[in-house]
């Protein structure tokens, strides 16, 4: 059983220590009543970003609409990509993170109706091209099955911390390039499978969003690792992305700290939770409706309208328009 090439640097140790420390802090701070909303919001961002990395042009709002079963006018293939990704990510709990059968099943879900050989290792040679030049050759087809079995056997028995292990698997999948298409998608998904098995808190944090925001660095990290035949540069990059995602998540949970206390005095605990969602979901100048907020939170429309009325009465929100078309905007004066 071959160990993939990597080195544990001081930077990797320090990043891992910060991540593990922050995970411990989340045990005490994550409000379980917000868990369903947070998971749904993270899923929308994760699906949107992972598809966008593969040149899908749909917006986060359109992705959310597709997930909610709405009819969206967009290229059919892009809608299929979103539906497939959503099905694959929501099915993560059912995957064996170190099982070839689960790996193939997940690829079949990601690529159904998009690739004729979805869920099957490729039978032909493939290369990765940049500016018309080949920059990486995937493993020869006859070796793929053995290489993936060997990789998963190592991962199953290795005592390496699963957070680092997830990064190694992600990189090795991209290097072996086991499928004719969808290698990037399955690599990112499989990293999430391993991370979420290690800690459920990772289900609340869309790491793919930061990867998309740093897409060129993502590719550069892969190339840097290939140059030295070691996943170390890629591990360092991904740990950085994980830590930054956790920092953004933690900051979102504490957004009420930036609000003047006078505006919070008359709010109940549930109303404060709803206000956190609003502040975390909408920019200060972004208008939204009660229907939009109800859809996002899965809360009944009357409950949402009651919250919005309270926020308007407390001058936390300003409202314009009437009835169903009424729109709300955060009052900038509430922030200290």
Boundary (domain end) residue, out of 196, 219, 253: 253
- Torsion over CA of 84, 86, 87 and 93, rounded to 10 degrees? 140
Query: Which tens digit of pLDDT belongs to each residue from 257-282?
Result: 667 777 888 888 888 888 888 887 77
CATH assignment at residue 262: 1.10.10.10
In the prediction, which pLDDT does 252 show?
A: 60
pTM for this predicted structure: 0.81
* Whole-number Å distance between alpha carbons of 165 and 239: 11
- Place 336 in a pLDDT band, splitting at 50, 70 and 90: low
Domain end residue (candidates: 194, 223, 253): 253
Look at residue 131 in the predicted model and tell me its pLDDT: 73
* Rounded percentage of the chain residues whose pLDDT exceeds 70: 94
Quick one: tokens of 300? 């009944």
Please, which residues bridge with residue 288 across strands? Answer: 328
Which CATH number characterizes residue 71's domain?
A: 1.10.3290.10
Which pLDDT belongs to residue 211?
Answer: 93
Question: Is 163:16 a contact under the CB 8 Å cutoff?
Answer: yes
In a domain, 5, yes or no: no
The predicted-structure confidence for 60-99, as pLDDT tens digits, reads as follows: 889 989 998 989 999 999 999 999 999 999 999 999 999 9
Position 4 in a domain: no
**Domain membership flag for residue 2:** no
Is pLDDT at 45 greater than 70 in this prediction? yes
Q: For the segment 178-199, what is each residue's pLDDT rounded down to a tens digit?
A: 999 999 999 999 999 999 999 9
244 and 318 assigned to the same domain: no
Cα–Cα distance, 114 to 123 (Å, whole number): 17
Instruction: Please report whether residue 184 resides in a domain.
Output: yes
Between 335 and 230, name the one with better pLDDT.
230
| Domain stops at, among 205, 224, 253 | 253
Range of the structural domain that residue 157 is part of: 10-253
pLDDT-derived band at 325 (thresholds 50, 70, 90) equals confident
pLDDT of 269: 80
Mean pLDDT in residue range 122-134: 83
Average pLDDT, the chain: 90
Q: How distant, in Å, are the alpha carbons of 45, 109, 111, 160, 335 from that of 51?
A: 10, 14, 12, 30, 35
User: What is the count of structural domains for the chain?
Assistant: 2
Alpha helices in the chain (DSSP H): 10-29, 35-53, 60-67, 76-90, 100-111, 141-157, 162-176, 183-198, 207-213, 215-228, 232-253, 269-281, 290-297, 301-313
């Amino acid at each position: 059983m071959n160990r993939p090439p990597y080195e544990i640097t001081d930077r990797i140790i320090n990043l891992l220590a910060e991540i593990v420390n922050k995970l411990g802090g989340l045990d005490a701070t994550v409000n379980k009543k917000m868990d369903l909303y947070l998971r749904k919001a993270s899923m929308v961002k994760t699906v949107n970003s992972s598809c966008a990395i593969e040149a899908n042009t749909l917006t986060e709002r359109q992705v959310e609409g597709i997930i909610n079963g709405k009819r969206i006018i967009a290229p059919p293939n892009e809608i299929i990509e979103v539906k497939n990704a959503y099905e694959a990510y929501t099915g993560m709990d059912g995957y064996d993170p170190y099982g070839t059968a689960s790996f193939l099943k997940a690829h079949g879900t990601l690529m159904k109706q998009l690739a004729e050989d979805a869920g099957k290792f490729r039978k032909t040679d493939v290369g990765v091209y940049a500016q018309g030049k080949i920059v990486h050759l995937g493993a020869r087809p006859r070796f793929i099955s053995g290489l993936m079995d060997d990789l998963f056997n190592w991962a199953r028995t290795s005592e390496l911390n699963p957070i680092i292990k997830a990064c190694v698997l992600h990189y090795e999948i991209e290097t072996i390039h086991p499928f004719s298409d969808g290698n990037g998608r399955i690599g990112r998904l499989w990293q999430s499978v391993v991370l979420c098995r290690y800690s459920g808190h990772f289900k609340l944090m869309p790491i793919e969003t930061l990867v998309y925001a740093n897409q060129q660095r993502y590719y550069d990290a892969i190339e840097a690792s290939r140059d030295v035949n070691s996943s170390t540069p890629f591990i360092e990059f991904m740990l950085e992305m994980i830590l930054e995602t956790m920092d953004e998540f933690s900051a979102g949970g504490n957004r009420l700290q930036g609000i003047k206390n006078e505006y919070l005095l008359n709010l109940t605990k549930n109303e404060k939770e709803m206000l956190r969602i609003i502040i975390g979901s909408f920019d200060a100048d972004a208008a939204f409706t009660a229907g939009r907020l109800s859809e996002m939170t899965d809360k009944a429309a009357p409950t949402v309208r009651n919250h919005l009325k309270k926020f308007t009465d407390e001058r936390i929100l300003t409202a314009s328009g009437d009835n169903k078309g009424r729109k709300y905007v955060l009052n900038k004066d509430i922030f200290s």
